[in-house]
């Protein structure tokens, strides 16, 4: 149940991929090293990944080149309240992204992500149920550079609280193999 264990996240990405309809146009925010879009590239018509980390975007581009994937692109950009995009997508995805940014920005960006797409898929941290889960999650977050944002996200009621602040009540929630990670589908 270690959040950063590659095998654990791989099964979550498999689950996320299953929600995406073949031939779709997809945008992913906070795409990190691009692993999810790379996994989706054989199934979708186009994928755009955005992340503020140049190091991760450079890595994602290298992986894309070596896999010969021509239908996915990666852009290094900081997402925030200034974000505009005149394109529309079939699916918009954000995985483990909304706890790393300030709550007001998360509320703004969830609404923006939903405007951009037919269907929004969010994979996010949720309330841990046992002491062990609580400790694993705390250890995972405590030494990250976004710990203060995680604490504010937790106080806001995790992803469910953020979605309620956005005014959404009509969303579906799915468990994943990681007990404190859930998938939310809007609308």
Ligand X SMILES: C[S@@+](CC[C@H](N)C(=O)[O-])C[C@H]1O[C@@H](n2cnc3c(N)ncnc32)[C@H](O)[C@@H]1O
Interface with ligand X (CB under 6 A): 9, 30-32, 51-53, 56, 78-80, 95-97, 100-101
Specify the residue, 52 or 165, whose C-beta has the smaller distance to ligand X: 52
Contact, 137 vs 125, CB < 8 A? Answer: yes
Q: CB of residue 105 vs ligand X: minimum separation in angstroms? A: 7
Nearer to ligand X, 7 or 170 (CB): 7
Least Å from the CB of residue 37 to ligand X: 10
DSSP string computed for 150-161: HHHHHHTTHHHH
Nearer to ligand X, 46 or 97 (CB): 97
152 and 102 in contact (C-beta within 8 Å)?
yes
Nearer of residues 52 and 127 to ligand X, judged by Cβ: 52
Tokens of 8: 């654990």
Shortest Å, Cβ 181 to ligand X: 9
Least distance CB 169 / ligand X (angstroms)? 26
H, E, C per residue of 14-53: HHHHHCCCCCCEEEEECCCCCHHHHHHCCCCCEEEEEECC
């Amino acid at each position: 149940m270690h959040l950063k264990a590659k095998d654990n996240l791989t099964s979550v990405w498999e689950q996320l991929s299953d929600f995406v309809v073949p031939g779709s146009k997809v945008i992913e925010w906070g795409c990190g090293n691009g692993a999810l879009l790379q996994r989706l590239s054989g199934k979708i018509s186009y994928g755009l990944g955005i992340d503020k980390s140049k190091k991760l975007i450079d890595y994602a581009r290298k992986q894309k080149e070596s896999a010969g994937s021509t239908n996915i692109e990666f852009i290094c950009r900081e997402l925030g309240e200034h974000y505009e995009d005149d394109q529309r997508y079939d699916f918009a995805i954000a995985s483990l992204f909304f706890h790393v940014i300030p709550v007001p920005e998360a509320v703004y960006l969830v609404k923006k992500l939903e405007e951009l797409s037919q269907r929004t898929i969010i994979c996010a941290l949720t309330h841990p149920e046992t002491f062990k889960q609580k400790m694993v999650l705390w250890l995972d977050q405590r030494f990250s550079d976004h710990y203060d944002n995680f604490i504010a996200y937790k106080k806001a009621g995790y992803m469910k609280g953020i979605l309620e602040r956005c005014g959404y009540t009509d969303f579906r929630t799915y468990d994943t193999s990681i007990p404190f990670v859930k998938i939310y589908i809007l609308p």
